[in-house]
Amino acid sequence: MSDMMKRLILDVDTGVDDAQAIMMALAAPNVEILGITCTHGNTPLQNVLKNTLRVLKVCDRLDIPVYSGFAEGLMGRKIHAGAFHGKDGLGDVPDPDAPGLELLQEMNAVQAIISIASKYPGEVTLVATAPLTNLALAVKMDPSLPGKLKALYIMGGNIESRGNTSVCGEFNFLADPEAAYIVLERYTCPTTIASWEFSCRNSLPWSFCDTWLAQNTPKARFMEKISAHTRKMVQTDRYQKELVSGSGFNTCDTYAVAAAISDNLVTESEEVAVTVELDGTNTRGMMVLDYIDVLHKKHKVTILKKIDLEVFKVLLMNALK
C-alpha cells in the first residue's frame, strides 16, 4: 500500500457485508474515515444507523461521525434484504448494550458529503456500498461535487445482465435505479465499480472464512455472530446455483473498500462508458456497458475484473484482529 493517508467517506446501508467493509477500512493504517453516511437498503434506515454504530463500538471507533441519510429511493420505492442479512441487517442477534441514536450527527448525510468534500478538495475518496440515493441528491444539491472528489468507488451494478434481485438487476442499483443513473451521469471524477459478477468470480473458499472467523478477538466473535444467518442462507443449494462462477465466501461490499485503500489489489480492469436502464420490464436497474460508443460519453468508469486474492485475504484478516 501507499504510505500516503487515504481520506474516505463511506456511504453504507449497513448489513453484514457493509459491516465487514467498514471494519476493513478501520483496520487499514493508511486510512482516515472522515465520516460514514447511511441510507436505506439492506434494512430500513433506522436499523442501518443502529448497525453502523454497533460496528464502530466493536472497533472502539465511536469517534467517527455517522450521518443519517434517506430512507427510500428517489421514486419512493423501498426494497430490503431481510432474507439475506436478517431482518435487522446484522443477522438478528441484537445487542442490548448497543449505542443509541443520540450519537448521530445533526447534519444529514447529503450535507455531510458536500461539506467534507468541500473541506478537503481533491483529497476525499467516496466509497458507496449501498443504493446511491445519498450520492444522487448530493450532486443535485451541489453539481460541482464530483470535481471536488479524488475518486468514487461503487459496489453495485452488473456487467453481464446477471441479477441477484431481479432477472437483470443487482440489489444496490435496483433499489434506486434513478439514483444510480444520476450518479453514473454526473460523477465525472475517477470512478471504479465492483460489480455483482466480479464479486462472485473473486469469492474466497469457505475454508478461508473459517480461518478468518477463528481469530481469537472480540471483532471475530462479533462477525461470527452477525454473519451466521447469511452464511446459512448462502450455503443452500439454491443460492449456490445462482452464483456466476462456482461457490464461495463472497463479501460483496469489501471489494470496493479494498480497491479504494490498497494500491496493489487490482490485477485486471477495463475502462468503458456505462449507464443504467430505467424502463425495461426485466432490465430496470441493469447497468449497461457501452463498448461501441453509442452513448458518446466522454467519461468512462473502471470496471474491476480480477484482484490479487492474497492481498484481499490480508485486508480481511486485519479487519478482525
Work out the number of other CB atoms within 10 angstroms of the CB of residue 247. Answer: 16
The pairing of beta strand 31-38 with beta strand 149-155: unpaired
Cell of 122: 481533491
Residue 18 a catalytic site member: no
Q: Residue 44, SS3?
A: coil
Instruction: Give the Cα separation of 157 and 137 in Å (integer).
Output: 19
Paired sense of beta strands 301-307 and 191-194, if any: parallel
List 11, 13, 17, 253, catalytic entry: 13
Specify whether the CB–CB gap between 131 and 13 falls below 8 A. yes
C-alpha cell at 313: 485475504
Q: Which of 91, 126, 110 is nearest to 39 (CA)?
A: 110
Other C-beta atoms closer than 10 Å to the C-beta of 20 total 24
Are 23 and 317 in contact by the 8 Å Cβ rule? The answer is: no
Helix (H, G, I), strand (E, B) or coil at 256: helix
Cell of 108: 444529514
Helix (H) or strand (E) holding 239: helix 237-242
Tell me which residues are annotated as active site.
13
